[in-house]
Amino acid sequence: MSTHLVADTATLTGRSMRHIFRSADTIITTAVTPIALMLLFVFVFGGALRQSIGSESYVNYLLPGILLIAIASGISYTAFRLFTDMQGGVFERFHSMPIARSSVLWAHVLTSLVANGITLAIIFAVGFLMGFRTGAGPLEWLAVIGILALFTLALTWLAVIAGLAAKTIDGATAFSYPLIFLPFISSAFVPTETMPGPVRWFAENQPVTSIVNSIQALFAGEPVGSSIWIALAWCAGILLVAYVFAMRAYRRRIG
């Protein structure tokens, strides 16, 4: 980014973050459903599910998947905020000013990254209260944070496409529903070995499973093997494709 673009993006990100903090219910709402799922699966289903994972701590197994569900839920607000700005004429006002045009999109993306980071911190805190424990060191924690940040960026650029292309508010946010349910057909709740053939094949070859497996291994202090490279490849691939299509959609809207 040029200095001009960085400065403009920082200013617009500050504007978006002020809106977030003035209506903190957005972050709270995003955190409520994943936390409720974590409570349900740990305290209601956990006793039965512990047998399938071969571990005494189901919350340790479950938490990575809950984090991904929170991210998938949180990025829908990016599409909503972007759609609202487009419909409210905010983009036109910004474009009449001497600012870098792409800074408007980058501000929404960075706001998503920060807002989702706050949501994940809340979920981590609840997880620790529920008994989550990890032997991960600083490097493992940095790796986990890096994977979660890259996953957030990848999904956020998908949200940008939805926010730019949608005709209604419902259309802008509905795209996130399949992403929210994707962790349920992965290794996030039970090992893929327990699933029937076709479902197991899908679960083992979709991006969420490799991400969940990598985070679980990092938290457990176990070797991550090739799963982390598969996870990074998925995230980077989705990010690159989504970014290209988002910028094309943006140029069409402002052209």
CA-based radius of gyration for the chain: 19
**In which domain, by residue range, is 172 found?**
3-254
Q: What percent of the chain has pLDDT over 70?
A: 87
Give pLDDT tens digits for 189-230.
Answer: 989 888 898 999 999 999 999 999 999 999 998 888 889 999
Question: d(Cα 97, Cα 13) in Å, to the nearest integer?
Answer: 16
249 CB burial (10 A radius; 0-12, 13-18, 19+): middle
Number of domains forming the structure of the chain: 1
What is the full DSSP assignment across 199-237? HHHHHHTSHHHHHHHHHHHHHHT---TTHHHHHHHHHHH
What is the value of pTM for the model shown? 0.90
Identify the segments of the chain with pLDDT beneath 50.
Answer: 1
Identify the pLDDT of residue 146.
96
Identify the pLDDT of residue 85.
75
Identify the pLDDT of residue 1.
46
The residue behind tokens 């790796």 is: 143
- Residue 4 CB: number of other CB atoms within 10 A? 12
